[in-house]
Amino acid sequence: MKNLIISLIAIIGLLVFTSCEDTTGPQVNSDPGSPALSSHSGGESFVLNEEDADEELFTLSWEAPDFGFNAAVTYYIEMDVEGSDFENPVTFAQTNKTSISMTVGEVNNRLNVAGVPFGIESEVPMRIRAHVSEDVEDRISEVFVFAFTPYEIIIEFPEIYVPGGYQGASGYTADWSPENAPALASVNSNDKYEGYVYFAADNQEFKFTAERNWDNGDWGGSEGSLEPGGGNLMIENAGYYKINVDLTNLTYQLLATDWGLIGNATPGGWDADTDMTYDPNDKVWRLTVDLTVGEIKFRANDAWDLNYGSDNSDGTLQPGSPNNIPVEEAGNYTVELDLSGPIYRYSLELN
């Protein structure tokens, strides 16, 4: 009897062991297919308007791949904003469902963050990627293309202000009034501020304030150094100045600038600037000039140390951008350069 019991135990153990060996987890379908867009076919065009920001723009739906088991799938809607065959895709949205609804504002925010130009129509290739785990191959849909015309999001950057005795004569209303003074902005929110200020006369004094009043602190100083509540700063020579302030290290820099247009579309080509004129009333640099088909950039002081191009040719400027601004039609143009706000801008108007 004892031997019989031992034999039964051995048999049961063998069965259990065999059962464990046969349990290898879910069997993945060798051909699960890919997500297939069902709500749209692509090719649609969407013009986005800020007043409709809370309205639903679309619902994207798709058929799920059949992985052969009850898989927890994360779906990534990806877009290719660089035209690089999705070598560096940007995530447009993600969900664990097989559909997603998005408002005008949500879509516009995604496009703005990804650098899609605002105010003009851009075709945006998209796809859906189904992800289960690192052990299961992602399944990717066919590429579909939507055309979007996003609007610009106005971002409020941290600012400091530049009141002084120069304001009245320079087009900034009353002297020593922070409420009307030009602003310097910290576009990276890192206590480093930049902006442009016009001084119409020589030997003008000014300070920096934290608010549009004198109640919450100010900075003065001299020779590039700042101190809270310090003495008035001084501009010796009239001009249009680029001002940089670092409140972490309590330093400032002043650079007098004159601006010109350069490029193979201009009369001077890439060899000589065509000078622009500053308008203190509109606070822009302006030029009326004959341009040919070609490219242009803006640069300061007849040198390349400070220049602006446009990454997307969308009316905004970026310092030192390698992207020149195209002129697609020859003619007489009014060209404006606006450095008065935190986002630097330009316009080309055919007369």
The DSSP element (H or E) to which 60 belongs, if any, is strand 56-63
| List of domains in the chain | 36-149 (2.60.40.10), 159-257 (2.60.40.10), 259-350 (2.60.40.3620)
Which residues contact residue 51 at a Cβ distance below 8 angstroms, ignoring those fewer than 6 apart?
A: none
The amino acid that residue 3 corresponds to is N
For the cut 80, the answer to whether the pLDDT of residue 304 exceeds it is yes
Instruction: Please state, rounded to an integer, the average pLDDT across all residues of the chain.
Output: 89
Task: Give the Cα-Cα-Cα angle 248, 250, 252 (nearest 5 degrees).
Answer: 115
The pLDDT score that the predictor gives to residue 27 is 57
Which is it for strands 318-319 and 274-275: parallel, antiparallel or unpaired? unpaired
The pLDDT score that the predictor gives to residue 246 is 98
Tens digit of each residue's pLDDT (9 = 90 or more) over 120-139: 999 999 999 999 888 888 99
For the cut 50, the answer to whether the pLDDT of residue 19 exceeds it is no
What 3-state DSSP class applies to 239? strand
The pLDDT score that the predictor gives to residue 29 is 59
For the cut 60, the answer to whether the pLDDT of residue 13 exceeds it is no
Q: 258 or 40: which carries more pLDDT confidence?
A: 258
The pLDDT score that the predictor gives to residue 301 is 98
Q: pLDDT-based confidence at 70, cuts 50/70/90? A: confident
CA atoms within 13 A on the CB side of 114: 25
* Ramachandran bin of 129, using left for φ above 0, alpha for ψ from -120 to 50, beta for the remaining angles: beta
Count the neighbouring beta carbons within 10 Å of the beta carbon of residue 257.
Answer: 16
Distances in whole angstroms, Cα of residue 74 to Cα of each of 93, 97, 99, 130, 158: 11, 8, 11, 6, 37
For the cut 50, the answer to whether the pLDDT of residue 206 exceeds it is yes
For the cut 90, the answer to whether the pLDDT of residue 256 exceeds it is yes
Q: How far apart are CA 263 and CA 101, in angstroms?
A: 46
The pLDDT score that the predictor gives to residue 91 is 86
Tens digit of each residue's pLDDT (9 = 90 or more) over 157-183: 999 999 999 999 999 999 999 999 999
The pLDDT score that the predictor gives to residue 20 is 44
